[in-house]
Amino acid sequence: MADFDVDLFVIGGGSGGVRAARIAAGYGARVMVAEEYRMGGTCVIRGCVPKKLFVLGSHVRHEIEDAAGFGWTIPNATFDWPTLIANKDKEIARLEAAYTANVEKAGARIVKTRAVFEDAHALRLATGEKITAKHVLIATGGAPNHGRMIEGIEHVISSNEAFHLPELPRRIVIQGGGYIALEFACIFAGFGSDVTVIYRGDNILRGFDDDVRAHVRSEMEKEGITILTACTVEKVERFGKEYVTHLSNGSSLASEKVMFAIGRHPNVANLGLEQAGVAINPSNGGIAVNEYSQTNVPHIYAIGDVTHRLNLTPVAIREGHAFADTVFGKRDVTVDHADIPTAVFSQPEVGTVGLTETQARAQFSRVDIYKTTFRPLKATLSGRDTRVLMKLVVDGTSDRVVGCHIVGDYAAETIQAVAIAVKMKATKADFDATLALHPTAAEELVTMRTPTARHVRQAAE
């Protein structure tokens, strides 16, 4: 047997790579992790964590406005963007240090440099050092993708730069209709920016339940966010400190910043994948893997966003753990990618798990829909014009709840618990048998008794 420098070489120090390294080291493997930027990856450094901190900060304006209805008189409040950025940076630095410490405590070695394949078992570090590895795990994640090149693309920022702006833009144009675009639209609007969202499709949040898409758009527009659909950005011009964004519908917009959040692509470039013989999935541009996250080269694996399967941090972590269990724990573990809960931290928040109504109707012959919208209790005194949406999608034959969709405060917190029931294949009768917790918004999930719609697909003759 060939003698290797390490048993496992992990390329990428994000959430998935770190989990895999720690678990593999716990099994006694000699592990090295290469990270060329900062430990923690997209989620910790420039994704979920700083984004959620921004979201929480942007909620404060609403809280101040709502306080009057509850008897509070609050003097005029002021907001300082640089203070938020500085405090966010401190927290991210703390988390980065924790990630680094946890990997090293597990017994793995970290090298802060880029690693590139020279062949299937050898990696060359940017320092010049060559490392041979028995197994390699690619966990390099993804990066913002600006799409087609347009005139003035050099003036456009991504979510990466949005976390480090020196000042809050008074006006910003955001192209995109998914998680990142809408979350940042609401963040900037919450802090007081004038926000316009540009999306090429007929409505935002493509892939989500249609009722969710319509509800979120309506609520965002109530808060003064302009949403323009069925058009794209064609050109961006700079005039001093301002930009003019020209749209495909012939109109133009002036703003201080232009941001694109139209998708992300897997970080597969310049890794030497060709030298290692690793194949790319032609359908999504990510590294092609099987159910064990194994590439076409048996000892090379890939997890997380670089595979472009489900680009969610908990998925990458679970895939990394399963990989380590399988390869170094000597037990076959795969990841079930069905019924994974997800959230959009827009304002209002979205929490969803399972099938949309459209997906369920395509899959099942009988589908029952339970849906309600209502004014949340807080709004009765605050006076805010907002409504909550709750929706259950039920297989009408088995009575199993196959989808749940929530739009409103704490939707993400609620859907995490509901996801357990959906994963356990709970029925609508199980939901009905569960006593309501009053007064909460979530009690609606167990008190909706009458279907709002019933769909029956006729068998082909």
Rounded to whole angstroms, the Cα distance separating 403 from 370 reads 10
Q: Could you write out the DSSP letters of every residue in 329-358?
A: S-S------SS--EEE-SSS-EEEEE--HH
Kindly list the catalytic residues: 438
Rounded to whole angstroms, the Cα distance separating 39 from 346 reads 27
Rounded to whole angstroms, the Cα distance separating 411 from 408 reads 6
Checking phi first, is residue 395 left (phi over 0); if not, alpha (psi -120 to 50) or beta?
beta
- Residue 283 sits at the vertex; the CA angle it makes with 282 and 285, to the nearest 5 degrees, is 60
Bond preceding residue 439 cis, omega within 30 of 0: yes
Rounded to whole angstroms, the Cα distance separating 33 from 110 reads 5
Dihedral of CA atoms 94, 100, 105, 107 in degrees, nearest 10, equals 180
Q: Smallest Cα–Cα separation from 39: which of 106, 116, 93?
A: 93
- Residue 104 sits at the vertex; the CA angle it makes with 99 and 106, to the nearest 5 degrees, is 100
Q: Smallest Cα–Cα separation from 62: which of 181, 189, 190, 233?
A: 190
Would you state the structure tokens that stand for residue 452, as one six-digit string? 């709002």
Name 239's bridge partners: 242
Rounded to whole angstroms, the Cα distance separating 45 from 22 reads 19
Which is it for strands 31-34 and 109-111: parallel, antiparallel or unpaired? parallel
User: Whose structure tokens read 């192209």?
Assistant: 175
Q: Smallest Cα–Cα separation from 194: which of 173, 224, 176, 171?
A: 171
Q: Smallest Cα–Cα separation from 115: which of 279, 1, 275?
A: 275
